[in-house]
A and B are shown apart, each in its own frame.
Chain A
Amino acid sequence: EVQLVESGGALVQPGGSLRLSCVGSGFTFSDHYMDWVRQAPGQGLEWVARIRNRANKYTTEYAASAKGRFTISRDDSKNSLYLQMNSLTIEDTAIYYCARGGVAAAYDYWGQGILVTVSS
């Protein structure tokens, strides 16, 4: 059974940093590109970042809101995906989901989500 489990969510002050993790199981993690998608309270979905697989040289893409502040990375030996978030603002408050890239660039599996709250 494919599973994605996020961790690392917390309450953090504006300007602070946080690192989210996502561990995958039940599939060959290294074969897939992986994304972070977030959802602010009561709002819609927002794509945040992508990291491709080894075959595609682990290249990355970022939303404008994440560029320069967030860094996506992965460790295939640990079946793990990460999101390092720096210079956090109140607008970064959201549930963060990791998602597996599947056929036709669709997310065929999602984690349960992890809450990040940025507040003083």
Chain B
Amino acid sequence: DIQLTQSPSFLSASLGDRVTMTCRASQGIATSLIWYQQKPGKAPKLLIYSASTLQSGVPSRFSGSGSGTEFTLTISSLQPEDLATYYCQHVRGYPQTFGPGTKLEIK
């Protein structure tokens, strides 16, 4: 099975900051990587698919990059509504595992 790790586990940043978080796969998955945002008490929301394609309706301050085993999610200017936990998921075969998440806090 392909394992995903995310770093950091917790991230504290100030409004307006540029924020970057990483997802690493235990083996190459090309660009078969998805990013979701989950706000407290809510269902996850799709942000980015195919590692770098922004889902319709998602603010352009979110961007994704990477291929193979290392991927990043970047928020260019942190907003209050970005308080959430961010999960990556691979879709390269089964099981389609999720990473453990990065919890983003606003300073």
Contacts and interface: CB of A to CB of B under 8 A. Distances in A.
Contacts of A106: 34, 46, 49, 55, 91
A35 B27 CA distance: 24
Nearest to B92: A105
A105 B55 contact: no
A113 to B, nearest CB: 6
Contact of A111 (B34, B43, B95): B43
Interface in B11-40: 32, 34, 36, 38
Contacts of A108: 46, 55
A63 B49 CA distance: 22
Contact of B49 (A37, A46, A104, A113): A104
B44 A110 contact: yes
Interface size classification for chain A: 20 to 34
A120 B72 CA distance: 43
A112 B44 CA distance: 9
B91 A97 contact: no
A55 interface: no
Nearest to A111: B43
A97 B94 CA distance: 18
B100 interface: yes
Contacts of B32: 104-105
Given A44-B100, A47-B97, A105 B44 contact: no
Given A47-B98, A111-B43, A113-B43, 17 more contacts: A44-B87, A45-B38, A47-B95, A47-B97, A61-B95, A63-B95, A64-B95, A104-B34, A105-B34, A106-B49, A106-B55, A107-B36, A107-B46, A108-B55, A110-B43, A110-B45, A112-B43
Interface of A: 37, 44-47, 50, 61, 63-64, 97, 102-108, 110-113
